[in-house]
Structures are given as structure tokens and as C-alpha cells.
Amino acid sequence: MRRHIVLVSIVLSVSALAYATTYLGALGPLGFDTRLLAKLFLVYAYNPGAPELTVMSPEAVTSIVWDFRGVDTLYETVVFYMAIVAALAIYRGIGYSSSGVRGAGLSLIVRVVTKILIPMNVAIAVSIAAHGHLTPGGGFQAGAALAVVSVLLAVVFSALSFGKLGVSLARAVALRSAGLLTIAAVVLAPVAFGVATGIRGFLMQNYVKLDSPLAFPTHVSGQLISGTLIWLNLAEFFAVSFGFFVIFMLLSLREDVVREQLGEEHEH
């Protein structure tokens, strides 16, 4: 009976919140339209008729994340990066080897099914990253989707499978760093190009502005790539996915091995 009450309460709360957001959210306490900013985002996300204001991406969420409020996203990426650095610092001096992980796995049936699912998972993750400027998705979502593969490998095939596939901690860190360096290059490119040419350029500038004619190419061979957005999504994809790989690989180490090596290090 108690469970049913909790379930009904959750359903009613979600329904009330949805109703308030959908039917009451458009009007503020004084009757003013509080969704003007949202309308502007939708109007200018993809609007070739207003080149100084548009992002040239039909995916409004990605336009907001990487352009309209791109600096916020940049700092969020830095926070995630620092979290990975902190994890590596905690595990500093601990070698990742086959002796430090458990060799058990799941049944043959589970392994076969997982072998079928992993390629599908990788394909979906890459698609989410590559099409994040056109359809819902993006680099972070794609990276989180690909990171599921590391969990499947550790649980279904055991953490020993990382070494068998040639995925080492150093390579995961290197690929994560490559993604972060690519983000930094795309972010700083307009400013650097502006300094080199004498034309004013802005940090994270995607398309032309009222006082700057600089713009990343929006089309390649007739395909819309939305300037910086596709490159930022792909770079974020690498940074997030292999950042999670690093975390999951460290967490797969046996606790007794970690405690032993940390103890030895602290004694020295």
C-alpha cells in the first residue's frame, strides 16, 4: 500500500509540474511573456537571413550550448577535466595491470549478446556526436553513450579485456587530452586568426558578427556542418568518452591492490 501511495504521489507531482510548465509557464505573475528569450533562440538558431545573429544550426539546444552560452559550456568542460585530473591524482603511482583487476566474467550467452550490442552502441554514439548540430544530441551525450562500452567490457568480459583490446590507461588519457586540445584550438582560432590578419575576432566565434566578418565554414560539399559546432561536438565526444573510460578503468582495480600500493607510496 505504501509503495502505491509513493507511486501515485510521484505521478501527480510530475503531472502538476508538466501542466504548470506547459500552460502556466508562458505567463509571468504580471501577465508578461517570459518566453521571449526562448523564442529568440528558436528564431536565430538557423536563420541565414540574419547572418550576424544566427548560429546556422537547426538544433536549437546545441546552438545554445556551444554558441549562445558557449563560454558556460567551456567552463563545464573544464570542470569535468579537473574531475578526471583529481581522479588520476588520487590513483597516482598505482599501476594498471592484469594483476590488479579481477578476471571473472559473465556467461557465454551474455558475452555473445554483448558482442552484438557493443558495435551498435559505438555506431549510435558516433552518430549522436556527428549529427548533434542537426538533431538532438551532442558531444557530451555521445561520450556518455560510448562510455557504456567500458562498463560492458569490465562487467561482462572482466577488466582484463581492456588490455586484450589494446586500451590502456595512458591511451585513454591521451585521447581525452586530444579532445580537450581540439576544443581549445577551435575556441581560440578566431582570436588567433584575427590577430594574424588584423581583423577583429572573438572567443568561440562561430559565424559572422556585426563587427567581425570572421566565420567558420558552415557547409562542406553541400552538407551543413554549422561552423564550429560539429568540431566542438566531436572534440567533446572524445574528451567525455575517454574521460569516463579513465574513471571506469581506475574503478575496476581491485580494492586490496589499490590499498596496498597506496600504503606503500605513503610509507615512502
How many percent of the chain have pLDDT more than 70? Answer: 84
Would 120 be classed as within a structural domain? yes
pTM of whole model > 0.85? no
Express each pLDDT in 205-234 by its tens digit.
999 988 899 999 999 999 999 999 999 999
The C-alpha angle 122, 125, 128, rounded to 5 degrees, equals: 150
Residue reference for cell 508562458: 26
**215 within domain boundaries:** yes
**What residues have CB less than 8 Å from 159, skipping those under 6 apart?**
101, 102, 153, 249, 252, 253
Asked whether residue 39 is domain-assigned, the answer is: no
Instruction: Point out the least confidently predicted range of 94-103, 130-139, 199-208.
Output: 94-103
Q: Is residue 228 situated within a structural domain?
A: yes
99 part of a folded domain: yes
- In a domain, residue 38? The reply is no
Domain count, the chain: 1
pLDDT in tens, 14-31: 888 877 766 665 445 444
Q: In whole angstroms, how far apart are CA 1 and each of 6, 7, 10, 43, 72?
A: 9, 10, 14, 49, 45
12 assigned to some structural domain? no
Q: What is the mean pLDDT of residues 53-65?
A: 94
pLDDT value, residue 268: 47
Instruction: Give the tens place of pLDDT for each residue, 155-176.
Output: 888 776 777 777 788 888 899 9
Provide, rounded to the nearest whole percent, the portion of the chain with pLDDT above 90. Answer: 49
Position 252 pLDDT exceeds 80: no
Residue 85 grid cell? 585530473
- Look at residue 115 and tell me if it is in a domain: yes
